[in-house]
Amino acid sequence: MKKAVLTVSSFIFAVTLAVAAQQPPQNPPAQPPPQGQPPQGAPGGRGPQPAPKNLQVLPKDTTRQQINGIMRGFTRGLGVRCPFCHVGEEGADLSTFDFASDEKPTKKTARIMLQNLMETNTRLASVGDKPAGEPRVSCWTCHRGETKPASPPAQGQGRGNR
């Protein structure tokens, strides 16, 4: 069991790094963050953070810091912010959000997509020239910063159909 948790945690960390590596570096803001947002570099708020609740796909012992990194990967991969999947108002202090709630359908979809991502990377672990354990696909692979992946071109159009 511990080996499985370690493997999944390592995989999630690797996915987060892969997604982050695909993003261009950003310069720190010259002004303070908008009201209700934690300062850059802060671990998401003030004081100690409670343990994550209602984890159904990620290992139960995933830390808040790991969750924050994974969520940042989702926001980059889909071009969304916290209220897209979580109950809370845009611009509100994150401490007012109900992150454990399953009210939003987008959160349920995200869980299914994360399971698919993990299964795909497990199946592709020994294929190609990347080191074992390094993810082959991420949210960005299909979404490219959009909430919905682009549809394929109509039959007879696109590459290879000249």
Q: Does 115 map to a domain?
A: yes
Report in angstroms the alpha-carbon separations of 65 from 44, 48, 117, 122, 159. 9, 11, 21, 24, 42
pLDDT digits (tens, 9 = 90+) for 118-135: 898 888 887 777 776 677
Q: How many domains does the chain have?
A: 1
Terminal-residue alpha carbon distance, the chain = 52
Beta partners for residue 98, in sequence order = 87
Q: Is residue 67 a part of any domain in this protein?
A: yes
Instruction: Check residues 46 and 88 and name the one with the higher pLDDT.
Output: 88
Q: Is 46 inside a domain boundary? A: no
| pLDDT, average across residues 111-124 | 90
Residue 108 in domain? yes
Residue 90 within a domain: yes
**115: containing domain:** 63-148
Question: Would the pLDDT of 81 be above 50?
Answer: yes
Contact between 139 and 117 (Cβ < 8 Å): yes
Contact 109, 103 (CB under 8 A): no
SS3 82: helix
Determine, yes or no, domain membership for 136: yes
Give one DSSP letter per residue of 102-157, joined into a string: --SHHHHHHHHHHHHHHHHHHHTTTSSSSPTTS-S--HHHHHTTSSSPPPPPPTT-
**Of the ranges 76-85, 127-136, 145-154, which one carries the lowest mean pLDDT score?**
127-136
- Within-domain flag for 130: yes
Cβ count near 28 (within 10 Å)? 6
